[in-house]
Amino acid sequence: MMKQAREFPAFTVTPKAARSLAAGHPWVYAQEVLAAQPCENGALADVFSQKGSWLGTGLVSLQSKIRVRVFSRNANDVFDEAFWRRRLRYAWEYRKAVMGPDVSNCRIIFGEADQFPGLTVDRYGTLLSAQVLSAGMERLKHTLFPALVQLLRADGQDIRGLYERNDVALREKEGLAQYKGWYGLSALGLQTPETPLAHICENGIRYTVDVENGQKTGFFLDQKYNRRAVAALAKGRTVLDCFTHTGSFALNAARGGAAKVTAVDVSETACAMARRNAEENGLAGVVQCVVADVFELLPSLSKGSYDFIILDPPAFTKARKTLHNALRGYKEINTRAMRLLPRGGYLATCSCSHFATEEEFCKMLAAAAADAGVQLRQIAARQQAPDHPILWSVPETDYLKFYLFQVV
């Protein structure tokens, strides 16, 4: 029973939804709502089973297939500013604990994993970059953003601005407009930064991150420690980095002592950025950037040209219905890479799609190895960095698969 009398609209859900919520998953889908009292988009609502049991409080998205995102299962919670400040503090304290000195360059809020459904906040040195993908977080951001900046600055962190990267089509499914721009923090005495460029250092490598135009919020932070694992194996090797983007795996390999690194991407812009990053780090003599389609390049190479190949493709699928085609794409590039490597060569391969499960990805790798006529000696199986925590009750938070093999 709830001890606090609350006036939130009531949503009654199916037994299936009730079981899912009881197991810890926070989403209620539109087709699982049996009855709902009228409310505004992004409003708070209480969720009940058919038998009248209270299941939690969530944020409503009237236009989304995910109708309610539950964020509280404590009937005594009061959702005032102090509640959200506590949540922000939990998230920040967790990052300090797991990231240590890397906390100046990490993900501070990872949506459902931090119980901020639909909100991502990344930190790049003195700048924060945020993406709001739910109607509820859009309503709450004017509480959350200033509070987060205050929290970090009070803890001695030099934060000078927050940029909103809300230029994604997913927002339209929430009934939200697309846009990007600086979030005003003048109430905290902060002026709008003069540039959206942030200068960061990851694994000893310097990058310029463009929070206005870069991928997602500006840079992919989740592979931080996987890049370090690649660097540890790269000494003296000839490395091919496929889908290099801004060159982060290539640069880590070069810094790890690789004899030669070829960084490949189909995007001219990405290659230009990778080239610039190599120059800024004094690695231009080792890293060569090539504009090419990886699917066309791999078949044209001769066996033994490289003894270390890195495959870090974009998500080939963002929906369950296209998973089969995605796995076919993953298998093609992995089979070709395995055939190219000499006996004893190394392969780093990954997938950033949560729709391609660990089991499906491993099955694909085994099939690729069989087709290539090789065996895989596993060196490491890794995931995303711990600033992107995996909540076991929310499979969607477990998305990055990273494997390091020796081909024998």
| Torsion angle (degrees, nearest 10) of CA 247, 250, 251, 253 | 160
Total Cβ atoms within 10 A of residue 107: 26
Q: Count the residues in the chain.
A: 408
pLDDT, residue 13, reads 98
What is the model's pLDDT at position 321?
A: 77
The amino acid that residue 236 corresponds to is G
Question: What local confidence, expressed as pLDDT, does residue 3 receive?
Answer: 47
Assign 110 to helix, strand or coil: strand
3-state secondary structure of 32: helix
List phi, psi (to 5°) of 249: -65, -40
What contacts 196, CB < 8 A, 6 or more positions away?
A: 127, 163, 210, 211, 212, 213
Evaluated on CA atoms 396, 109, 312, 218, the torsion sign reads: positive
First to last CA, the chain: 61
Question: Are the C-beta atoms of residues 220 and 202 closer than 8 Å to each other?
Answer: no
The two tokens of residue 13 are: 């859900």
Dig out the tokens for 322 from the structure.
Answer: 């296209």
Report which residue type is found at 44.
L
Q: Where are the alpha helices (DSSP H) in 201-344?
A: 224-233, 248-255, 268-280, 294-300, 323-340
Specify the long-range contacts of residues 357-361, CB closer than 8 Å, at least 24 apart.
358/398, 358/401, 360/323, 360/327, 361/330, 361/401
Q: What is the CA radius of gyration of the chain?
A: 23
Residue 188 is encoded by which pair of tokens? Answer: 């905290």
- Please give the positions annotated as active site: 352
CA-CA distance, 182 to 107, in Å (whole number)? 18
Q: Residue 140 is which amino acid?
A: L
Q: How would DSSP label each residue in 241-253?
A: EES-TTTHHHHHH
Cβ proximity of 21 and 391 under 8 Å: no
Upper half-sphere CA count for residue 283 (Cβ side, 13 Å): 31
Domains of the chain: 10-72 (2.30.130.10), 81-198 (3.30.750.80), 222-407 (3.40.50.150)
Whole-angstrom Cα distance, residue 24 to residue 44?
Answer: 19
pLDDT at 331: 94
pTM confidence score: 0.93
In this prediction, the residues of the chain whose per-residue pLDDT falls under 70 are: 1-6, 317-319
